[in-house]
Structure 1
Amino acid sequence: MKRGRILIVTQMYPSGSTGTSVKTLYTIRFLAKEGFIIDICCPHYHKMVKIPLTISGVTIYPFEKQTIGKFSFAYLLRAWKSLFSWKPFRAAKLYDRVIDTTIQALRTQHRYDYIFFDGFSTIQYTKMLDESHIYIDDEDITDLMWQRTLTTPNYLLRIFYAIEWMKCLLYERIFFRRVKEIWAISPNTKKRLQTLSNAKTSLMPTIVPSHQNVFHNQSKHIIFSGLLSWQENVVGLKWFLANCWDTIHASLPDTHLYITGQMADQDFAQYIKMFPHVTLLGFIPNLTSVYNRCALAIAPIFTNAGIKVKILTYLSFGLPVVANAEATWGMTSTDGIILSEKNQFTDSIIHLLADQNLRTSLSKKGKNNMTLHHSEKSLRTFFTQRGILV
């Protein structure tokens, strides 16, 4: 049954190999299954994993681009031209004239019922207010710039992030006037975004696929997953290795930490090698093959401007999670998660590894959490309430 046609403009190829692309991929799959014809316009970055999208009714127009570098002062110097734009650096750097032209050509060729601008940098492709325009928030970049301003040790980068924060506010004020609806990723983001324009602002559930529970209640191993060029992941992992791992390894010498994720640079890979029983696996297409060896997952993320898909993914596989409170911001429920302060993080992990019954209980609670709040059912309710599904 054909329901209509949707154009989705997104920030990267929706392979499902990063947190934000997981949300995009499974939203596309859901809508295609419901009978929508979908066209997708997106860049693909050379060094990132590209899993070809083969979904009936979906046509993708990918454009090859150079990979975004890890945020650093050196990277900013290499990309200095983008610093002089009135747009935020992230938006200016990701703009592509070919994508812009393709979007306009597709709009001329087809009548779209809805046009989704999926991610902060994509709303610059809007030309004017249109009833079909919907902005999907995948991370509150403006809030992220402010948090980085407050927490980054390098003072030059702090100045850069403060300027970026102001640019982001201006960028949002201009482009949010051109969308009919805004779908926020978290309650905090919704509260902020609904003050910026007349667009109707709603909280969109983030869904992840349901997996078989692979939780290994006899294991003592730990997993961390994430994009390893993303600053907050690198900072959190380095903190964990420097402050927690030696004590965990001394208490439980057979315990291993496995790290999955793409885009780790050579310096970070060498840093990881300094720690015993810590293994960097890189990108793993089938997470079951690693997660089924593990007793729990960790999320030491101290800056969060949305919702951490890594935590949803852990819980969807039945893995208990140890996380700090900031890492769970945006979640409706923290069932399946032990919330821990920095000074208790090590003890929380050791305690959980020693208590098989607690791990089993958390595993069940986490799976139920995903069913209630991050499943296809919650997305169906959302689209029905918007009038997109009837």
Structure 2
Amino acid sequence: MISDRFPLPEKSGADIRTMNLARYFASLGPIDIAYLSNLHSGSVHAEGAEEDFEKDDIFSGKYRLQKLEYPSSLRGRFGISVRGFPYPVREYSKASMEKLFSLIESGGYDYVLVRYLRNTGGFFGLSQIAKRKVIIDIDDVLTHSLYDTLFAPTNNALRMLFRTINKVLLAYYQTRCVTVFGACLVCSEKDKSDLWGERASESTFVVPNTLGTRAPGELRMESGFNRRHVLLFIGALHYQPNVSGLLWFLESVYPRYRNVYPDAVLLVVGRCPLPEVIEVCDRTQGVELHPDVPDVIKYYRDCRAVIVPLLEGSGTRLKVLEAALLDRPIISTKKGVEGLDVVSGVHFLEFDDGPSFCEAYRTLSDEATYDALVTRAENVVLEKYSHSTLSTSMSKVVSYIDFKSSEFSSLFSRSHAPAG
């Protein structure tokens, strides 16, 4: 497994998905990990986190990698893009690339799982046999609504031109990955369509997000119906789609909600808040920012409903799955639940502005409606986003890799057989 960071302890959606995939492969045999950043992600850890870390550490071998710094000049950025590394794909250092090639080509691995397209730099140089073993978990499709969030806003014509060219190169790079490597994973049918269109490649598989080690019903949660008007926003506060959605909600939706419910509170919980998040939370009445908390359960207990005000992004939202299993209704934009098999008014309540949010929230004043939303959301998560669903999906991927590898090995052997 090749990952941005060592995914323990599981403090984010990215880490949860990484560990879910790792646990699947660990059920097949020993698994090693090559990672880019420090062991512990996040700055605050729960009491006993070290013990949990040791208990959950399933990796047999660990290898630390480095990438080259991304060029600061526009010329340098354009140069690496046309050389085959469109942003955000970056080159590994020479030592790390040599280590990776040595491990992949001679490490005896049956499968090589790469988390994120951006970590595949240089992999086209692998042998044909090795490339057949590579599974790329694309996760977020970067060439659609997420693309603009990769960059800071600019009016510079040259920078805008570079970003346009880079997007074309990134789309081409993405297509090469789908056609060259053994398999590619996405989180939803929507992402599969965005990635490949109607002519979906047989090597592209939907592997939905599932929750981590916390099992349904593991924590007793009292109904939130009688809670005061407390909303919960939860997510990484340095991830641009979360930041943009939260700022939009605070500026365009929350003031109207506070006018209707003057005692309302919004709990904003997440890792690594950007300065603009801290500033807007500080100056907005009725907002509490709780950064880098060791456990989010307290905040679910304190809230009446969970909001997902996303306007961009891809994948499936682990925060929606978690809220469903912790007995809190979800009020979301359409984008916030995109990729999940849920229906507005059945599993969640949809909004797109201040009035529609207040109208959605008012429906929660009926206890039967509140309880029904919670129950139906939990049921759909248990049915379609369970660990067994992930295992079934990944079994298809592994079977496909095995078949194609065997097929390729047979062709290779015949082509190198001595003439009769």
- TM tier relative to shorter chain: 0.7 to 0.9
Q: 2:392 aligns with which of 347, 361, 381?
A: 381
The 1:296–1:198 alpha-carbon spacing in structure 2 relative to 1, beyond 3 Å, is closer
Of 336, 340, 350, which aligns to 1:331? 340
| Cα pair 2:13 2:318 within 8 Å, conserved | yes
Q: Distance in 1 between matches of 2:301 and 2:320?
A: 16
1:200 paired to 2:203: yes
In the alignment, which of 4, 25, 29 is matched to residue 36 of structure 1? 29
Choose the corresponding residue for 1:236, options 234, 240, 245. 245
C-alpha distance 201-275 of structure 1, shift in aligned 2 (>3 A): same
Give the secondary structure class of the aligned counterpart of 1:258: strand
3-state SS in 2 of match to 1:91: coil
In structure 2, the CA distance between the partners of 1:125 and 1:292, relative to structure 1 (3 Å rule), is farther
SS at 1:363 equivalent: helix
Shift in CA distance, 145/225, structure 1 to aligned 2, threshold 3 Å: closer
| Aligned mate of 2:88, from 82, 87, 90 | 90
Query: Which residue, out of 269, 276, 289, partners 1:280?
Result: 289
Instruction: Give the partner amino acid of 2:36.
Output: P
* Greater shift in the superposed pair: 330-339 or 115-124: 330-339
Quote the Cα distance in structure 1 between the aligned partners of 2:105 and 2:66. Answer: 25
CA distance in 2, matches of 1:90, 1:317: 35
The answer for the alignment partner of 1:71 in structure 2 is none
After alignment, is 195-204 or 361-370 more displaced? 195-204
User: How far off its partner does 1:292 sit?
Assistant: 0.9
Aligned pairs for 1:193-342 (under 5 A) are 193-194=195-196, 200-209=203-212, 210-211=215-216, 212=219, 214=221, 215-219=223-227, 220-334=229-343, 335-342=346-353
CA distance in structure 2 between the partners assigned to 1:181 and 1:31 by the alignment: 15
In 2, the alpha carbon distance for the partners of 1:141 and 1:297 equals 26
| Residue 184 (structure 1) shift | 1.8
Aligned residue pairs total 373
Match of 1:133 in 2: 134
**Structure 1, gaps ≥5 residues long:** 1-7, 69-74
Query: Larger % of strand: which?
Result: 1
Distance 1:80 1:257 in 2: 44
Distance 1:329 1:102, change over 3 A: same
The DSSP-based 3-state class of the residue aligned with 2:192 is: helix
Aligned-partner Cα distance in 1 for 2:246–2:23? 32
- Compute the RMSD of aligned alpha carbons: 3.3
Specify which of 152, 165, 168 is matched with residue 167 of structure 2: 165
> 2-side partners of 1:96 and 1:312: how far apart?
37
Distance 2:160 2:340 in 1: 28
Alignment match of 1:182 (pick from 176, 179, 184): 184
Deviation at 1:13, TM superposition (A): 2.5
Equivalent residues of 1:39, 1:61 under 8 A apart:
yes
Partner of 2:413: none
Q: Are the equivalent residues in 1 in contact too, given 2:178–2:203 (CA < 8 A)?
A: no
Deviates more, 1:39-48 or 1:77-86: 77-86
- TM-score scaled by length of structure 2: 0.78
Deviation at 1:322, TM superposition (A): 0.6
Structure label with greater radius of gyration: 2
What percentage of residue pairs aligned between the two structures are identical? 16
What are the residue-to-residue correspondences of 1:56-67 with 2, within 5 Å? 57-59=58-60, 61=62, 63=64
Note the C-alpha offset of 1:266.
Answer: 2.6
Contact 2:351-2:360 within 8 A present in 1 as well: no
Structure 1 residues 31 and 88, CA, compared in 2 at 3 Å: closer, same or farther? same
Q: Secondary structure at the match of 1:190?
A: helix
Partner of 2:418: none
CA deviation after TM superposition for structure 1 residue 234, in Å: 1.1
1:35 is displaced (CA, Å) by 4.5
Between the aligned partners of 1:383 and 1:193, the Cα distance in structure 2 is 19
Give, in angstroms, the shift of residue 279 of structure 1: 0.7
C-alpha change, 1:77 and 1:359, in structure 2 (3 Å) is farther
Question: Which whole-Å CA distance do the structure 2 matches of 1:293 and 1:155 have between them?
Answer: 43
**Partners of 2:288 and 2:154 in 1: how far apart?**
29
CA distance in 2, matches of 1:144, 1:76: 24
Q: Is the 8 A contact 1:218 1:356 kept in 2?
A: no
Distance (Å, rounded) in 1 between the aligned partners of 2:59 and 2:78: 36
